[in-house]
Amino acid sequence: MSKYTPKPEHKFTFGLWTVGNRGADPFGAQVRPKLSPVELVEMLAEVGAYGVNFHDNDLVPIHATAAERDQIVKEFKEACADHDIKVPMATVNLFYEPVFRDGAFTANDARVRAYAVQKTMRAMDLGAEFGAETFVLWGGREGVETDACRRPDDAIKRARECLNYLCEYNLEKGYGYKFALEAKPNEPRADIYFPTTGAYLAFIETLDHKEMVGVNPEVAHEQMPGLSMMHAVAQAWEAGKLYHIDLNDQYPGRYDQDLRFGSVSPKQSFWLVKFLEDVGYQGMRHFDAHAYRTEDYDGVKEFARGCMRTYLIFKDKAERWNNHEEIQSILAGIAETDAENLIGKYGSEAAAKLLATDFDRHELAAKGLNYERLDQLTMDILLGVD
Ligand code: DIG
Ligand code: MN
Ligand code: MN
């Protein structure tokens, strides 16, 4: 077993919709046969995943009867138990059905909004049957093609009403869920409300039960508009709101590609893994990604193995970076300039002293910061020559 072999303690998870993706795209039909949730659990166990996640209708078709639902749940529970696959996260599909074409929580039709809340409550019930602790909400349809249809501040108020309601349901049922809100700037809508993780962090502060709600940043969704995923994650972490994470990869400025983790931007992926490991993130490492349309299910297994292997390679390289003598020496030099905090908490005396301080801006600007060497040493590690 190599040091890049996934183990349960790595907490690698995949959604049913990821390894079960059949390869359809807007310009082409499905290329892979449908696998059942039980077959997908068997696949995830084979590749070494820790857990599996699902939208309500990934597991229970929307048209299923109560009896069919119970049978599906029974068989899936048995498969998860047989293969020791956990269900850490559940979510709800509020984007596929035509009824949500104008949005779900933010739709203009009050009956659609109510139906979306009802569907979410039932999805929470389903996830709780499997012990899911995190409930992700991705508002893929919460947006517009034309802003003629509603004021965005009305949409925000509607989203808040639904979230507050669902938090109360969570409390009444005693599910103990942590809600994780997932941002995306566009696609399928021309503009999606709450386009970035930062936007959600601001929104969460306006909720009745903000302690119950955090974020689920996704690499592709931050990188689509050219933002830094690691910076978004760091802000969420610093705010105590990193409740889940969707790992994949993405070329900036393109449609949501959900590519294999680390397969496009190894340096940004490295900084993300290093941050998660350096801060001791204890949550799931969820790969919300799917294999190329060219692949059969053997290729899908390689995709899943590749996601986990690349994460572990970057984890190993982060340890090398943290123990690299020259890197640590450069960092120590940087730390010297930060030895004494000259700001700290405001006080009249301190402010008077600060105002009376003479700063020689030319002397402060004169010393080179040696970041080129620091970054080249990082590249040496990433390129495998150190
Ligand atoms: C899209 O990135 C969304 C959906 O796949 C799902 O609702 C969520 C969970 O990771 N991510
Ligand atoms: Mn995505
Ligand atoms: Mn996602």
Task: Identify which ligand lies nearest to the alpha carbon of 137.
Answer: 1
Predicted pLDDT at 171 = 98
pLDDT confidence band for 58 (50 / 70 / 90) = very high
Q: Which amino acid residue places its CA nearest to atom 11 of ligand 1?
A: 138
Find the domain containing 26 and state its range: 8-316
Indicate if 337 and 308 belong to the same structural domain: no
In a domain, 2, yes or no: no
Indicate if 203 and 337 belong to the same structural domain: no
Q: What is the CA radius of gyration of the chain?
A: 23
- Angstrom distance (rounded) from CA 284 to CA 51: 9
**Angle, CA of 87, 92 and 93, to the nearest 5°:** 130
**Burial grade of 42 (CB within 10 A; 0-12, 13-18, 19 or more):** middle
Probe residue for ligand 1, chosen from 134, 141, 246, 259 as the CB with the greatest number of ligand atoms within 8 Å: 246
Of 283, 316, 349, the residue that ends a domain is 316
Of 258, 293, 316, the residue that ends a domain is 316
Tens of pLDDT along 235-252? Answer: 999 999 999 999 999 999
Please state, rounded to an integer, the average pLDDT across all residues of the chain: 98
In a domain, 340, yes or no: yes
Indicate if 331 and 251 belong to the same structural domain: no
In a domain, 300, yes or no: yes
In a domain, 1, yes or no: no
Task: Identify which ligand lies nearest to the alpha carbon of 134.
Answer: 1
**Burial grade of 303 (CB within 10 A; 0-12, 13-18, 19 or more):** buried
Catalytic site residue from 55, 244, 286, 290? 55
The residue type found at 257 is Q
pLDDT confidence band for 70 (50 / 70 / 90) = very high
Atom of ligand 1 nearest to the CA of 91: 7
CATH of the domain at 19: 3.20.20.150
Indicate if 305 and 329 belong to the same structural domain: no
Indicate if 311 and 344 belong to the same structural domain: no
Indicate if 96 and 220 belong to the same structural domain: yes
Residue 58 known to be catalytic: yes
Question: Mean pLDDT throughout 91-118?
Answer: 99
In a domain, 347, yes or no: yes
pLDDT confidence band for 161 (50 / 70 / 90) = very high
Q: Tell me the torsion sign for CA atoms 132, 96, 197, 105.
A: negative
Q: Tell me the torsion sign for CA atoms 312, 16, 97, 117.
A: negative
User: Is 90 exceeded by the pLDDT of residue 1?
Assistant: no
Q: Which amino acid residue places its CA nearest to atom 4 of ligand 1?
A: 138
Indicate if 60 and 203 belong to the same structural domain: yes
Tens of pLDDT along 182-220? Answer: 999 999 999 999 999 999 999 999 999 999 999 999 999
Indicate if 290 and 349 belong to the same structural domain: no
- Angstrom distance (rounded) from CA 309 to CA 5: 7
Q: Which amino acid residue places its CA nearest to atom 8 of ligand 1?
A: 138
C-alpha to C-alpha distances, 353 to 24, 342, 350, nearest whole angstrom: 66, 10, 5
Please tell me whether residue 198 adopts helix, strand or coil conformation.
helix
Indicate if 54 and 124 belong to the same structural domain: yes
Predicted pLDDT at 291 = 98
| Contact residues for 268 (Cβ-Cβ < 8 A; gap 6+) | 223, 228, 229, 230
- Angstrom distance (rounded) from CA 132 to CA 126: 9
Tens of pLDDT along 311-362? Answer: 999 999 999 999 999 999 999 999 999 989 999 999 999 999 999 999 999 9
User: Is 90 exceeded by the pLDDT of residue 94?
Assistant: yes
Per the structure, how many domains does the chain have?
A: 2
In a domain, 82, yes or no: yes
| Contact residues for 73 (Cβ-Cβ < 8 A; gap 6+) | 59, 60, 126, 129
**Burial grade of 104 (CB within 10 A; 0-12, 13-18, 19 or more):** buried
Indicate if 95 and 166 belong to the same structural domain: yes
Probe residue for ligand 1, chosen from 58, 216, 218, 290 as the CB with the greatest number of ligand atoms within 8 Å: 218
Note whether 144 and 181 are within 8 A (CB).
no
E strand spans, the chain: 12-15, 51-55, 89-91, 134-138, 143-144, 178-182, 191-192, 213-215, 246-247, 285-287
Q: Which amino acid residue places its CA nearest to atom 2 of ligand 1?
A: 288
Atom of ligand 1 nearest to the CA of 184: 2
Would you say the CB of residue 243 lies under 6 angstroms from ligand 1? no
Closest to 191 (Cα-Cα) out of 138, 137, 141, 136: 141
User: Is 90 exceeded by the pLDDT of residue 281?
Assistant: yes
Would you say the CB of residue 288 lies under 6 angstroms from ligand 1? yes
Task: Identify which ligand lies nearest to the alpha carbon of 217.
Answer: 3
Return phi, psi of residue 369, to 5°. -100, -5
Return phi, psi of residue 62, to 5°. -60, -25
Closest to 136 (Cα-Cα) out of 258, 283, 270: 283
Indicate if 304 and 345 belong to the same structural domain: no
Indicate if 256 and 329 belong to the same structural domain: no
